[in-house]
Structure 1
Amino acid sequence: MTKFSPGRLFIYFILILFCAIYLMPLLVMLLTSFKTLPDIRGGNLLSLPEVWVFEAWFKAWGSACTGVTCEGVKGYFWNSFKMAIPAVFISTLIGALNGYVIAHWRFKGSNLFFALMLFGCFIPFQVILLPMAATLGKFGLANTTTGLVFVHVVYGLVFTTLFFRNFYVSVPGELVKAAKLDGAGFFTIFFKIMLPISKPIIMVCIIWQFTQIWNDFLFGVVYSGSDSQPITVALNNLVNTSTGVKEYNVDMAAAIIAALPTLFVYVVAGKYFVRGLTAGSVKG
């Protein structure tokens, strides 16, 4: 039987305490989403519902709504998927190519190129709003899902390139040189050697990019049209445009629905996240 020292028990107590504090808002949201409005007004935030009801979930999704003002988040939910999946795929693939080139195919000015990309990490979103809007207008991509994909790919390339570059630096240069001596070209080395060993950092980029894109509100509200708005914009509209009695249970259910995809990604691929971040920390 394992014995715990007082010091270790204290550490576990602190960890459990902070975990409980961190999860408290989620518990409140979940309980509230199953309560009726009278129960919400008369009960405690942490009290169990007097009657467990699912009407708020159907209304938040859009299955129990009538009229224009209550259409739920269903359509916007799929809009976010249409935006996030191609943006994550494209930015990850191009970032892998960029990181591979910077790490093992040095060219004149490559260090300056990488330094400028690092500088791009510190540019606030607000700075690029007007230039990007003008660019989307010239390309005919304004107020479209394709335009949102383009914006997230451009902004995400900085981070994916940085992740892959740091990972590929740890790959021995002799491996690439040996492949070149055997007659392998640029893309052969990339697809046959580099990508197969890049699973941890690919998962890091997928988690990072998907979370950033799915949770983004600023780009979504600025560059989307009425039929291409992501779920973050819909959630904001649902919370701020309610008429009559404030339906907190519907708001909480919609917020949980909006958070489910990112939660799923972390549960499925989270074990690769720390492994991928530390994979390029030691060379060789």
Structure 2
Amino acid sequence: MHANSSTSSGVRLGRIAIYVLLVFCALYYLAPLYVMVTTSLKSLDEIRSGNLLDIPLHPNTSAWAKAWGGACTGVQCEGLAPYFWNSVKMVIPAVLISTFVGSVNGYVLAHWRFRGSEIVFTALMVGCFIPFQVVILPMARLLGLMHLANTTYGLILVHIIYGIAFTTLFFRNYYVSVPDELVKAARIDGAGFGMIYWRIILPLSLPIFMVCFIWQFTQIWNDFLFGVVFGGSDAQPVTVALNNLVNTSTGVTEYNVNMAAAIIAALPTLVLYLVAGKYFVRGLTAGAVKG
């Protein structure tokens, strides 16, 4: 009895230690977000006279309003609003198209193998590790030939091309776990390429679609390099505008406006993870990184 009670006490203490460690890690991780939110709700006078961790004495959202519609991002003082919508117009089609194309590619590479399919798959895997900087010059040349330079459509094309390697890898590794017998049985029954994909593969694909949606949305929304290189003055995404806002000097550094702008720029990805994060985990554990 004494040994059992000692064992249970040890297990209980171990759990408490784990919980304490997890709470500490969570607080440490959330501390920058707390500082950003509280700073964005303070006036400049309160920021200068107070402590970084102090709760706002007189919280107000004037910094948020200025960050959204009145802050200067260079020579223009329109805030982040137009650039935020540029990012929305760029992200949605790029995510949808690259995910759908990756789904079809993964389906082909997993269940409709052809001569050289492994070479194609290897090339796509290599494409996942090519740095952004390597493709800038050829991509700029391509966009120029297609008359898409400095446009939102050009940025959409860039992100589709760069994202297809990742989405194909995810879908191929997921579809490998679908039994070949299921596909062969459908072929024997007379189902073709499209019918098998639409009736068998697609209904099984919700977890991996969520993985790719979240992955692509995060990568494209947070991208800075492609946006600053290929986005013209009217097509720049919110990340470029945020950089310009923070580095635009008007004599006084408005820390509250900068913090509000940073939260606005990060808000869509934060909301996406809060809403669909569990589906992302399910998709990964269902086979998104197997194979």
- Letter of the 1:35 counterpart: K
- Letter of the 2:65 counterpart: F
Q: 1:100 to 1:75 in 2, by over 3 A?
A: same
Equivalent in the alignment of 2:83: 76
Equivalent in the alignment of 1:256: 263
Partner SS state of residue 255, structure 1: helix
Equivalent in the alignment of 1:153: 160
Q: 1:282 to 1:157 in 2, by over 3 A?
A: closer
Q: Are 1:60 and 2:67 matched, yes or no?
A: yes
Q: Give the drift of 1:272.
A: 1.1
Q: 1:141 to 1:113 in 2, by over 3 A?
A: same
Partner SS state of residue 140, structure 1: coil
Alpha-carbon distance between aligned partners in 1 of 2:118 and 2:287, rounded to the nearest angstrom: 18
Equivalent in the alignment of 1:119: 126
Equivalent position to 2:43, from 21, 36, 40: 36
Q: Are 1:25 and 2:26 matched, yes or no?
A: no
Alpha-carbon distance between aligned partners in 2 of 1:68 and 1:128, rounded to the nearest angstrom: 30
Q: Give the drift of 1:50.
A: 2.0
Say if 1:55 and 1:64, in contact at 8 Å, map to a contact too: no
**1:196-215 C-alpha deviation (Å, 9 max, x unpaired):** 11000000000000000000
Equivalent position to 1:183, from 185, 190, 200: 190
**Could you state the TM-score of these two structures normalised by the residue count of structure 2?**
0.93
Q: 1:119 to 1:246 in 2, by over 3 A?
A: same
Q: 1:176 to 1:106 in 2, by over 3 A?
A: same
Equivalent in the alignment of 2:286: 279
Alpha-carbon distance between aligned partners in 2 of 1:167 and 1:71, rounded to the nearest angstrom: 44
Alpha-carbon distance between aligned partners in 2 of 1:158 and 1:268, rounded to the nearest angstrom: 26
**1:110-160 C-alpha deviation (Å, 9 max, x unpaired):** 001101111111111001111100010001110000000000000000110
Q: Are 1:49 and 2:56 matched, yes or no?
A: yes
Say if 2:173 and 2:289, in contact at 8 Å, map to a contact too: no
**Could you state the TM-score of these two structures normalised by the residue count of structure 1?**
0.95
Correspondence list, 1:116-265, <5 A: 116-265=123-272
| Structure 2 stretches lacking a partner, 5+ long | 1-8
Percent of counterpart pairs with the same letter?
67
**1:30-61 C-alpha deviation (Å, 9 max, x unpaired):** 00000000111111111011211111000000
Partner SS state of residue 47, structure 1: coil
Alpha-carbon distance between aligned partners in 2 of 1:186 and 1:83, rounded to the nearest angstrom: 31
Say if 1:170 and 1:281, in contact at 8 Å, map to a contact too: no
| Runs of 4+ with deviation above 3 angstroms | none
- Letter of the 1:73 counterpart: L
Alpha-carbon distance between aligned partners in 2 of 1:199 and 1:103, rounded to the nearest angstrom: 17
Aligned-residue CA RMSD (Å): 1.8
Alpha-carbon distance between aligned partners in 1 of 2:134 and 2:286, rounded to the nearest angstrom: 33
- Letter of the 1:213 counterpart: I
